[in-house]
């Protein structure tokens, strides 16, 4: 008899989330429409910057190395703005995670948003949970093929629109759209669309929760950022257990005693559950509020049972809260059996010990104490400090910009009349949409002469929206102090002839030792 090892690889368990209504579902719809709206609409917003500059409000112009964001234009040497924004995004995630748990995963993550969209299409074409389970189990038939084909076709359209929208951030959208249709766009545009279409189709349609569980590193990092004071989606075990089906009459009586679930504060009503009358099973045992209807499991897009406690898979999308609240309303028990809760805020009681708990003076902490904690305040301050620094940097950013690099091979050149000449490579940046003249001059330095390679005079014409490198010579006559001194400080000034804006760059002058 051979012993067979258990399988080390498991097939994906299909998940058929049920449709649900409620506050959090509505919130998720709103966020879905808002975020997808931003994604699809942004590249098409026009923004007039004048001639020679693109009129697209948000444009990542990789070829010309420019990032346009409405009135802000970022050049490569100002990449610290992007770095600052990334740090702010990171700190923002820390802040939200430490106060609200995996709220990013549950509401705003593209994987969640697109999966949600794909599930909505699925529900619309194949029906709700039970219909989909039946279809899944049904043998292949014309109807099944038609439904599957229709679903995949709509998914593919969404996926193509997703990949298609992405490329518009990197080129003039109307031009690119026309070129794409005429098959004249760059191959990289089609390749990008193809890759993003494939990943969207695969991740949103088939991978879904597998991406969150097995592929995404962020949920694992988040474990380091939540603590018992973090608000998260959880099941009030002390209130729900022991679960079971109870008598209908008892439930109706409870509803009359408590009143509408909406009217009563979630915590307070739950604490007064003795006065509302405990549910009883048919055999007369006292029961908790959970009627074991499995509504929370049926709606879960991750396919877990929240009543088993905090789980790695849970993205805190809060759909189980909506599902359970709906059921609590129907059986006349207060809402909040599944709720946003902090683990250290739950009463220290075991299931069925509600009487003892009611005697104590325990009350949950108010919401603000969960939100305003030292670590969240710290994250907020750090986030705001970087934000303020970036805004300040944006406003003090010089309109005219110059860098000076001394040529050091050789450090100086002796001319035939004995003068000492130093050379410098100066980079002048014209951030305007039209060509500008920049006049160079030297700071107060005795007897030094300035000359420009290829130019008569000291004025350089810089083309629109570009950097011009200019070789500049500074000549010290033999009698000038700088000619004999090993190093002298030197300051270049540059002036925008049309606007009068000035900037300077400091360097050194090497003399003959």
For position 413 contacting another protein by CB under 8 A, the verdict is yes
Contact (Cβ atoms closer than 8 angstroms) between residue 320 and residue 301: no
For position 374 contacting another protein by CB under 8 A, the verdict is no
Per CB under 8 A, the list member of 187, 217, 374, 454 interacting with another protein is 454
Beta 459-462 vs 413-414: how paired, if at all? unpaired
DSSP β-bridge partners for residue 56: 46
Least Å distance between CB 261 and another protein?
34
- 76/457 with CB nearer another protein: 457
Q: How far is CA 116 from CA 165, 234, 504, in A?
A: 19, 21, 55
For position 469 contacting another protein by CB under 8 A, the verdict is no
- 237/333 with CB nearer another protein: 237
Q: How far is CA 375 from CA 91, 102, 227, in A?
A: 11, 16, 10
Q: Which residue has the tokens 């059996």?
A: 337
For position 452 contacting another protein by CB under 8 A, the verdict is yes
Least Å distance between CB 281 and another protein?
25
Helix (H) or strand (E) holding 473: strand 466-476
Least Å distance between CB 478 and another protein?
8
Token pair of 27 as six digits:
């919130």
For position 473 contacting another protein by CB under 8 A, the verdict is yes
DSSP β-bridge partners for residue 402: 428
Quick count: other Cβ atoms within 10 Å of Cβ 192? Answer: 16
b/e per residue 311-320 (b: at least 16 CB within 10 A): eeebbbbbbb
- 90/309 with CB nearer another protein: 309
Token pair of 217 as six digits:
């590193």
Q: Which stretch binds another protein (CB under 8 A): 1-9, 266-274, 334-342, 374-382?
A: 1-9
For position 12 contacting another protein by CB under 8 A, the verdict is yes
Token pair of 164 as six digits:
């298609």
- 105/472 with CB nearer another protein: 472
For position 6 contacting another protein by CB under 8 A, the verdict is yes
- 21/210 with CB nearer another protein: 210
Burial of residue 149 (number of CB atoms within 10 Å: 0-12, 13-18, 19+): exposed
Look at residues 301, 297, 327 and name the one whose alpha carbon lies nearest to residue 122: 301
For position 311 contacting another protein by CB under 8 A, the verdict is no
Q: Which stretch binds another protein (CB under 8 A): 144-152, 248-256, 330-338, 453-461?
A: 453-461
- 102/208 with CB nearer another protein: 208
Per CB under 8 A, the list member of 139, 416, 500, 513 interacting with another protein is 416
Quick count: other Cβ atoms within 10 Å of Cβ 110? Answer: 14
Quick count: other Cβ atoms within 10 Å of Cβ 89? Answer: 11
Least Å distance between CB 450 and another protein?
6
Backbone angles phi, psi at 199, to 5 degrees: -65, -40
For position 9 contacting another protein by CB under 8 A, the verdict is yes
Least Å distance between CB 251 and another protein?
32
- 203/235 with CB nearer another protein: 203
Per CB under 8 A, the list member of 48, 184, 262, 417 interacting with another protein is 417
Please report the sign of the dihedral spanned by the C-alpha atoms of residue 449, residue 454, residue 455, residue 458. Answer: negative
Contact (Cβ atoms closer than 8 angstroms) between residue 488 and residue 438: no
Per CB under 8 A, the list member of 137, 142, 214, 217 interacting with another protein is 214
Q: What span, in angstroms and rounded, lies between the C-alpha atoms of 490 and 443?
A: 7
Dihedral (C-alpha) 373, 374, 376, 381: value to the nearest 10 degrees? 130
Look at residues 82, 94, 84 and name the one whose alpha carbon lies nearest to residue 378: 94
For position 457 contacting another protein by CB under 8 A, the verdict is yes
Least Å distance between CB 5 and another protein?
7
Site string for another protein, 419-438 (x = CB under 8 A): --x-x---------------
Least Å distance between CB 397 and another protein?
30
Least Å distance between CB 420 and another protein?
10
Give contact residues for another protein (rule: CB under 8 A): 3-12, 207, 210, 214, 407-410, 413-418, 421, 423, 449-458, 471, 473, 478
């Amino acid at each position: 008899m051979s012993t067979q090892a258990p399988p080390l690889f498991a097939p994906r368990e299909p998940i058929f989330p049920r449709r649900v209504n409620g506050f959090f579902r509505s919130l998720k719809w709103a966020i879905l429409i808002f975020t997808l709206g931003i994604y699809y609409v942004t590249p098409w917003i026009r923004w007039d910057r004048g001639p020679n500059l693109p009129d697209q409000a948000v444009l990542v112009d990789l070829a010309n190395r420019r990032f346009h964001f409405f009135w802000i234009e970022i050049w490569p040497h100002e990449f610290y703005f992007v770095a600052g924004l990334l740090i702010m995004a990171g700190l923002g995630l820390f802040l939200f995670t430490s106060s609200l748990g995996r709220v990013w995963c549950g509401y705003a993550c593209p994987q969640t948003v697109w999966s949600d969209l794909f599930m909505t299409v699925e529900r619309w074409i194949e029906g709700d949970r039970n219909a989909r389970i039946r279809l899944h189990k049904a043998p292949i038939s014309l109807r099944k093929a038609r439904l599957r084909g229709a679903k995949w076709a709509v998914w593919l359209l969404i996926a193509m629109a997703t990949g298609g929208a992405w490329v518009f951030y990197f080129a003039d959208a109307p031009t690119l759209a026309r070129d794409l249709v005429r098959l004249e766009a760059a191959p990289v545009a089609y390749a990008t669309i193809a890759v993003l279409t494939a990943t969207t189709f695969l991740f949103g349609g088939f991978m879904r929760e597998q991406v969150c569980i097995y592929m995404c590193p962020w949920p694992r990092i988040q474990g380091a950022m939540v603590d018992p004071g973090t608000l998260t989606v959880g099941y009030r075990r002390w209130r729900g257990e022991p679960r079971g089906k109870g008598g209908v009459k008892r439930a109706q009586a409870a509803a009359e005693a408590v009143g509408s679930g909406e009217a009563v504060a979630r915590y307070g009503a739950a604490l007064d559950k003795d006065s509302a009358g405990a549910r009883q099973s048919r055999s007369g045992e006292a029961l908790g509020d959970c009627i074991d209807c499995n509504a929370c499991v049926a709606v879960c897009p991750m396919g877990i049972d929240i009543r088993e406690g905090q789980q790695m898979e849970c993205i805190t999308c809060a759909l189980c809260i909506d599902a359970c609240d709906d059921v609590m309303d129907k059986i006349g028990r207060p809402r909040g059996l599944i709720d946003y809760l902090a683990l250290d805020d739950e009463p220290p009681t075991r299931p069925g010990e509600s009487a003892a708990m009611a005697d104590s003076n325990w009350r949950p902490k108010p919401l603000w104490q969960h939100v305003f904690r030292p670590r969240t305040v710290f994250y907020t301050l750090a986030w705001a400090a970087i934000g303020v620094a970036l805004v300040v940097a944006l406003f003090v950013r010089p309109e005219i910009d110059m860098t000076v690099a001394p040529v050091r091979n050789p450090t100086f050149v002796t001319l035939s009349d004995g003068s000492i000449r130093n050379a410098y490579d100066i980079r002048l940046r014209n951030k305007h949409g039209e060509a500008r003249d920049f006049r160079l001059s030297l700071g107060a330095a005795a007897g030094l002469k300035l000359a420009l390679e290829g130019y008569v005079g000291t004025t350089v014409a810089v083309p629109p929206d570009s950097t011009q490198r200019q070789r500049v010579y500074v000549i010290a006559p033999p009698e000038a102090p700088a000619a004999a001194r090993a190093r002298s400080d030197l300051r270049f000034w540059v002036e925008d002839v049309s606007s009068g804006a000035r900037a300077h760059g400091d360097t050194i002058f090497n003399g003959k030792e």
